[in-house]
Structure 1
Amino acid sequence: MWSLWSSRNDRRHGKAPIEKVTAINWALDICFHLTSPNKSAEDPKVPPLVPRWQRPPGNTLKVNIDGAFDAEEESGAIGAVVRDAEGGFLMATTRWLPDVGSALAAEAEAPCAGVQLIYTVTEGPVMMKTDSLELVSLWNNRGSHKSEFAPIFGDV
């Protein structure tokens, strides 16, 4: 499912999508390898697994956020997932954006969803992760460079 979702997200962000049949075959292949009892990590035929998600420092919650955009419909969606320092799932949310103007606008709405998730469960350290370098740049320069997303950043 992640492969299909990632392909849809790539397509909506202007990247070349993964063919659906290829994505399904990839997922089936991964399931086969994960359930195969005879494969060892030292087997030279099996490439080592590269961790994609990294744990936050101890006692820190990690919030992964993302936004999606459909240019034809001028709509989008956002999502956020919260995990603890051990990688355990705590909570998640999604929200439909019926009227959004760009992929960056959808990405800019995602931190709000992440903050709304965590504000009731912790007052401790929180790490937020996004795949949008443009959003990170706008956030890091929010004090010196005003953008159209300044009100959203103020809410965060």
Structure 2
Amino acid sequence: MIAWACWYRRNQWVFEEKHLEPAEAVNHALCLLKAFQATKGTNSNGIKRVTKWQLPPQGTTKPNMDGAMFKEDGSAGVGLILRDWEGKVIMAISKRESAVVEPLEIELVAILRGLQFCIPLGLQALTIETDSLILAQELAKPEFANAMFGNIVIDIKQMQSRIPVCSILYVNREANESAHRLARFARSVVDTSVW
């Protein structure tokens, strides 16, 4: 993983003209290794697989968020669908993002954008769902292991603190399908300044 981190750092410099500190590249590699090890020993027979969206508890609003990469033009998309405890859709949003190069980064940006939109609504209880297991686990910790995206994580944690009850949970891709489709739809969004 350390050798891969060196290779990754070099490629970021050569192909993306991004300078990563050695510690950032190593932290990124170790975060990926940790996520791999956490799933490696898991017995798939003992895992309960949630394959459809489920209602949140009474009085709770559930935003599902997802990101999608568009390699053709180097952009990405963010999808958000917000439902109440009866399953009624409150809003659905699709937004195109630029200057995003990694899947982990766009997943973080999706959560950030979702919180930015939910906070002005004055919601008191959110159960955020994402299909990124790595992020759900890392955002539950007091500090984030991947220093490359530390600023986005700090923004997310600050916004979470503004909502009285706010949790981020992992769901399978099937249970997050609506948000994923909205994120893919962002490819056709023309105006990137408004959402």
Question: For the superposition of Structure 1 and Structure 2, which TM-score range results when normalised by the shorter chain?
Answer: 0.5 to 0.7
Sequence identity, in percent? 32
Count how many residue pairs are aligned between Structure 1 and Structure 2: 107
Following TM superposition, the consecutive aligned residue runs of length 4 or more in structure 1 with deviations greater than 6 angstroms are: none
Q: Spell out, residue by residue over 1:9-65, the C-alpha distance to the aligned partner (whole angstroms, 9 max, x if none).
A: xxxxxxxxxxxxxxxxxxxxxxxxxxxxxxxxxxxxxxxxx9711011000000000
> Over the residues paired in the alignment, what is the CA RMSD in angstroms?
1.9
Cα deviation for residue 117 of structure 1 reads: 2.0
Indicate how the Cα distance of structure 1 residues 144 and 103 shifts in structure 2: closer, same or farther if over 3 A, else same: closer
Cα deviation for residue 119 of structure 1 reads: 0.9
CA–CA separation in structure 2 for the residues paired with 1:133 and 1:144: 14
CA–CA separation in structure 2 for the residues paired with 1:97 and 1:120: 21
Asked whether the equivalents of residues 144 and 153 of structure 2 are also in contact (C-alpha less than 8 Å), the reply is no
Question: What secondary structure is seen at the aligned counterpart in 1 of 2:148?
Answer: coil
Cα deviation for residue 106 of structure 1 reads: 0.8
Could you tell me which runs of 5 or more consecutive residues in structure 2 were left unpaired when the two chains were aligned.
1-49, 157-195
CA–CA separation in structure 1 for the residues paired with 2:59 and 2:73: 41
TM norm structure 2: 0.50
Higher relative contact order (Cα pairs below 8 Å, separated by 6+ residues): 2
Asked whether the equivalents of residues 142 and 150 of structure 1 are also in contact (C-alpha less than 8 Å), the reply is no
Cα deviation for residue 144 of structure 1 reads: 5.6
Moved more, 107-116 or 59-68: 107-116
CA–CA separation in structure 2 for the residues paired with 1:144 and 1:110: 17
Could you tell me which runs of 5 or more consecutive residues in structure 1 were left unpaired when the two chains were aligned.
1-49
Asked whether the equivalents of residues 75 and 99 of structure 1 are also in contact (C-alpha less than 8 Å), the reply is yes
Letter in 2 for 1:56: P
Which structure has the larger Rg?
1
Asked whether the equivalents of residues 56 and 85 of structure 2 are also in contact (C-alpha less than 8 Å), the reply is yes
Q: Following superposition of structure 1 onto structure 2, how do residues 103-142 of structure 1 map, counting pairs within 5 Å?
A: 103-142=103-142
Q: Spell out, residue by residue over 1:101-147, the C-alpha distance to the aligned partner (whole angstroms, 9 max, x if none).
A: 11111111001121122112234111100111122123123516353
Aligned position for 2:87: 87
Letter in 1 for 2:63: V
Q: Following superposition of structure 1 onto structure 2, how do residues 16-95 of structure 1 map, counting pairs within 5 Å?
A: 52-95=52-95
Indicate how the Cα distance of structure 1 residues 138 and 56 shifts in structure 2: closer, same or farther if over 3 A, else same: same
Indicate how the Cα distance of structure 1 residues 110 and 142 shifts in structure 2: closer, same or farther if over 3 A, else same: farther
CA–CA separation in structure 2 for the residues paired with 1:83 and 1:154: 26
CA–CA separation in structure 1 for the residues paired with 2:142 and 2:128: 16
Greater share of helix residues, 1 or 2?
2
